[in-house]
Amino acid sequence: MKKAPVYRQEVQEELLARLKRIEGQVRGVSKMIQDQRGCGEVVIQLAAIKAAINQVAMTTLACHLADEIMEGLGEGKELKGIMPDIMQVFRKFT
């Protein structure tokens, strides 16, 4: 059974801070729509949210891949034996 990833303290803090900012941005967009702000303004904010979510996802993906590699190598697997799991995660991400 695979163990859950353990984020380094600074990575965890960074991700949680980003997610809190994203929450605020989403609430802001909701308010913009309620206030019938222009679609162009909303789209700009949605693009910023999308970029922020992608950044969280990329950081989490990097953490996961590092865990997969370290775990596989620790179990004596060769890198090519670990690659199918890594590729599966990339396919899910994209």
On the 0-12 / 13-18 / 19+ scale of CB atoms within 10 A, 9 is exposed
Q: Domain count of the chain?
A: 1
The mean per-residue pLDDT over the stretch 38-64 comes to 95
Could you read off the pLDDT of 25-40 as tens digits, one per residue?
999 999 999 999 999 9
What distance in Å separates the CA atoms of residue 14 and residue 55, rounded to the nearest whole number?
11
Which pLDDT belongs to residue 49?
98
76, part of any domain: yes
Q: Is the dihedral of CA 10, 26, 62, 92 positive or negative?
A: positive
25, part of any domain: yes
Residue 59 has pLDDT above 60, yes or no: yes
Find the CATH number of the domain harbouring 82: 1.20.58.1000
- Print the domain residue range for 64: 9-93
1, part of any domain: no
Which pLDDT belongs to residue 8?
82
Residue 78 has pLDDT above 70, yes or no: yes
The mean per-residue pLDDT over the stretch 4-28 comes to 90
